[in-house]
Amino acid sequence: MGKNKRLLDVLWHDGTHLADAIMFLTSSVMKHEKTWGAKLTGREGTAWLMGRLAGESAESPYAEGFRSLQKTVSTFEGPTGYFANMTADALACVRDPARKPRSSAIDGLRVIEYLHSVKPWFY
């Protein structure tokens, strides 16, 4: 996005795609937990964000004090082809108004809610 941009601007520019892809591929909602490193209002350094996917993990049956991913009912078949499949799905929805999109405006709103939840952490 550019060398001199605020980290917060980079988060909103690039983070929307990353958070959307994570939530889409896991069929889950991500919640912000922790931020550390450089302040997001700065233009230098590195900031780290830690989030948790709702309902994706459970107490590990293999190791005490750890969590393991759990199987879900829904699965994703075939190559993700994230942007190509998203475009094909949108076109299929235009052609068939009764079709339910794989990713909707609600999913986009969840991404914005996630990024907005980081706000208290960047000062």
Domain residue ranges of the chain, discontinuous segments joined by +:
7-121
| 33-61 per-position pLDDT tens digit | 888 898 888 888 888 888 888 877 778 88
Residue pair 31/117 in contact by the 8 Å Cβ criterion: yes
Residue position matching structure tokens 């986009």: 108
Predicted confidence band at 122 (pLDDT cuts at 50, 70, 90)? low
Three-state DSSP class for residue 123: coil
Q: What is the pTM of this model?
A: 0.69
Q: Is 80 exceeded by the pLDDT of residue 17? A: yes
